[in-house]
Amino acid sequence: MTTVDLTTLDLASLKTDLKSLIVVECDKDIEPGSIDDDAILIGGDLDLDSLDALQISMAVKNRYGVSIEGGPEARRALKSVNTLADTILNFQRD
């Protein structure tokens, strides 16, 4: 399992990373850069569903070592690339 070292990752490159992760994991035929930082991920224009949410959560766990628990916490974390990045960075500070 490869876990990215979060101490060497700045916010901008983390977000770029996450967009690529979303495109790959959810098999979206779009440019990662076309995802806005605050675009709604699940149920928004990106047309991602609850299975995509689970797929992203597991990929985030494998890549960054950050567990996103189910329920309201997951819904908050997976709202947008911004909230996902915040969740990952805040997890690191805990």
Partner 1 sequence: MAMNQACFLGAGIATHLGTGMAAQLAALQRAPLPPQPVNCDIGTIHECVPYKLLADFPLADITQRLDTVIDHVIEQALAAAGLDGADRAGISLFIGSSSFDISLSEYSYQHAHTVRNDAIPMEDSPSFGKLGEAVRQRFGFRGPDFSFNTACTSSANALWYASRLIQAGKIRYALVLGVEVINHITALGFHGLGLLTRSVMKPFDAARDGLVLGEAASALLLGPGNDSDFRLLGGANMCDTHSMSAANADGSSVAAVIAAALAEAGISHTAITAIKAHGTASLLNDEAEAAGLLRIFSGSTLPPVCALKPFIGHTLGACGLTELILFWQALSNGFIPATTGIGADNTVLGISLVQTPAVPAAGIYLLDYFGFGGNNTALLIGTGDAR
Partner 2 sequence: MKIIAHGHYAEKIEDALPPLKELVKEATGEPVRRVGRFIQLALIGAGRCLTANPAPKNTGVYLTSGRGDLEITLDVLEQMVEHGLPPKPLSFINTVSNSACFYLAKHFGLHGRSHFVTRRHAPLESALQLAALDLDHGSLQSALVGSVDICTMPLADHRTRLCVPADTAVGEGSHWFLLSNDTYPGTTLATIEAVILLPDKDALQQWLATQFLSPQSPANTVLACGQHIDTPTRLLLQHLTGCSAWAASPEPPWYDSHCGNTLGQFLQLRPARTLLHIDSDPAGRFNVLQVSLS
Distance CA 82, CA 94 (A): 18
Residue 30 contact, options partner 1, partner 2, none, Cβ 5-8 Å cut-off depending on partner type: none
Residue 72 CB, shortest distance to partner 2, in Å, is 19
Output 11 or 58, the one with its CB closest to partner 2: 58
Q: Which residues of 66-86 are buried (b: 16+ CB within 10 A; e: fewer)?
A: bebeeeeebeebbbbbebbbb
Residue 70 contact, options partner 1, partner 2, none, Cβ 5-8 Å cut-off depending on partner type: partner 1
Binding positions for partner 1, rule: CB under 8 A: 1, 49-51, 54, 58, 70
